[in-house]
A and B are shown apart, each in its own frame.
Chain A
Amino acid sequence: MIELKNIYKTFNRKTILKNFNLTVKTGESLVIIGRSGCGKSVSLKHMIGIMRPDSGEVMIDGTDITKVSRRELDAIRMKFGMLFQGAALFDSLSVLENVGFQLFEYTDMSFREIRQRVWECLSMVGLQGIEKMKPAALSGGMQKRVALARAISMKPEIILFDEPTTGVDPITGDIINKLIRHLHDSLKMTSITVTHDMKSAYQIADRIAMLYEKEIIEIGTPEEIRCSKNKIIKQFINGEAEGPITSGEGSRF
C-alpha cells in the first residue's frame, strides 16, 4: 500500500502541494487527474522518492521513505517501475541495454537469459525484433513502449505512469491504454497513472482522484467521477473553458 500523508512541497517559494493526502490500495489501478502544471507528476515522483516533501510522510508498505538511508531507498525502489512522460530512455544504450538495464545491474542472469527476458518484455508491448536499435531511431510511441518494457522487466509490484499518452497519436494512445490495463490485470501490479486525458483515465482506472489547488478534492470510481456533482470536476472532465477552475483567469474570448 502507498500512503502520502500531509505532503507539503514548494519550489522557489511557490507551493505545489499543500495538505496532500492520498492512499493507494495494493493491486488497484489509480489515476490522478488535474490541469497541466497542478502537481500531478510531482506527487508521482514523491511516491518513488525522487522528490522529497518539505513536510509530510510517504509510506510504502508501512515504511516512511523520507526517513530511510540511500541504500534502503534503492532496495524499496526495486519494487517500482516507472514510465516517464518523455520515455527517458538512455540515448547511449541500445533497446536491449535499456530494457535489460536492471537485469544487467542487479541479477546474475546470463546474457542469453537477459536477452530472452528482454524479448518477452518487448513482445508484451508489441515491439519484438528492435533490440539492436538506438532510442533516437524510434518514434515517440515506440520509445514509450520500450520504456514500458523497461519498467516491467524486473516484474515490479508497483508501476507508475507519468502522462503515458501525451505526445502520441490517438491510435498509439489507445494501444498504450490497453497495454497498461492488460499489464495491470495480467501481472497483478498496483499502478498509479497521472494524466489529463479523460479517455485514458476511464479506460485504465479502478479509481480516479482529482488534484486541484494543491490537494486531492475527490476520489471515486470512474462512474462516480463521471456523475460527480462537483462543478470543478464537471468542468474538468467535460473539458470546458469556462467554469469555476478558470473563473479567476479573465475572459479570453
Chain B
Amino acid sequence: MKLRKRLIVLGGRTFSDVKTWMAESFIYAGGLAVLLSETVFSIWSMPLRKRQILEQMNKIGVASFPIIFLISLFTGIVLALQSAYQLQQMSAEMYIASLVALSITRELGPVLTALIVAGRSGAAIAAELGTMKVTEQIEALETLSANPVQYLVVPRFIALIIMVPLLTVYADFFGIVGGYFIGVSKLHITSSMYLKMTCDPLAVKDVMTGIIKSGFFAVVICIISCFEGMNSHGGAEGVGKSTTSSVVRSFILIIMADCFFTALFYFIGR
C-alpha cells in the first residue's frame, strides 16, 4: 500500500516535471520565433548599419580563418587515413579522394564550420549581449529610442549569413587539400589521379547542399546566441549560464538540422 502510494506520488511529480519542461520548451521556441521574425522584418524595414556589419564580419569570419584552416586540414588528413584502412584492403585507394571530397563538401565542411563558429562566435555574442543585459545597456538603448534587435541582432545576423557559407567553402577547400596532402605523400596515390578522383564525382549540388545547410546553421547560431544573451539575468553567473546554454543548444540544433537536411536532400535526389 505504501509502495503504491509512493509510486503514485512519484508518477505525479514526473508528470508535473515533464509538463513544466514541455511548457518551457514551447515558450523558448516561441521566443526564438519572435526574435527571428523581428530580425528579418528589421532587415527589410530599416536602414542597415554597414559599419557594424563589417565589424561583425571581421570578428566572426576573418578572425576564424586560422582555426577553420587547421581543423579542416586535419579533418581531411584524418578522413583520408581512416578510409585508407578499408579501401586498401580492396585495392581501391583511388576512391579515398572521392570519399574525402564528398564527405567534406556535403557534411563535415558545413557541420564542423558551424560548430566552430557556434563555439567561438556564438559564445562571444551571447556573452557580450548577456553582459549588456545585466548592466542595463539594452534598456538604455530602448530609452534612447533605439530598437535593440535592429541595433544588436541584425548586424550579427547579416554577418553570420554571409560569413558562415564563405567559411564553409574555405573549410571544404582545405579539407580536400588535407586529404590530397596525405593521399599523395603517404598513401601512394598520384597527384593527377587524386585530383581526377576528387573532381569527377563532385557535382555543384554537393557543394550547394553544404552551403544551403551552412546558411541555415548561421541563422540558428545567431538567433540562439542573441536570444540567450538578451534574456540573461542574475549577474555574472547568469551570463555564464547563457553563454554555455547558447553553445549547447546551438550544437544540438545544428546536428538536428543537419540530420533533417541530409534526409531531405537524399529523398529529393532519388
Chain A residues packing against B (C-beta within 8 Å): 45, 48-50, 70, 74-75, 77-78, 80-82, 84-86, 88-91, 101-102, 105-106, 150
Contacts and interface: CB of A to CB of B under 8 A. Distances in A.
A106 B47 CA distance: 12
Contacts of B136: 84-86, 88
Interface string B126-153: 0000011001110111111111000000
Contacts of B144: 77, 101-102, 105, 150
A31 to B, nearest CB: 20
B140 A90 contact: yes
Nearest to A154: B144
Binding site secondary structure of chain A? mixed
19 contacts: A45-B139, A49-B142, A50-B142, A50-B143, A70-B147, A78-B145, A80-B143, A81-B143, A82-B140, A82-B143, A84-B139, A88-B137, A88-B140, A89-B137, A90-B141, A91-B131, A105-B144, A105-B145, A150-B144
A86 B143 contact: no
By CB atoms of chain B within 10 A, which of A81, A82, A85 has the most? A82
Interface of B: 131-132, 135-137, 139-147
Contacts of A81: 143
A106 B139 contact: no
A86 B235 CA distance: 13
A45 B140 CA distance: 11
Contacts of B137: 88-91
B239 to A, nearest CB: 13
A48 B143 contact: yes
Nearest to A78: B145
Given A84-B140, A90-B140, A74 B135 contact: no
Contact of B135 (A70, A86, A101, A105): A86
Nearest to B141: A90
A94 to B, nearest CB: 14
B48 to A, nearest CB: 14
Contact of B145 (A74, A86, A88, A90): A74
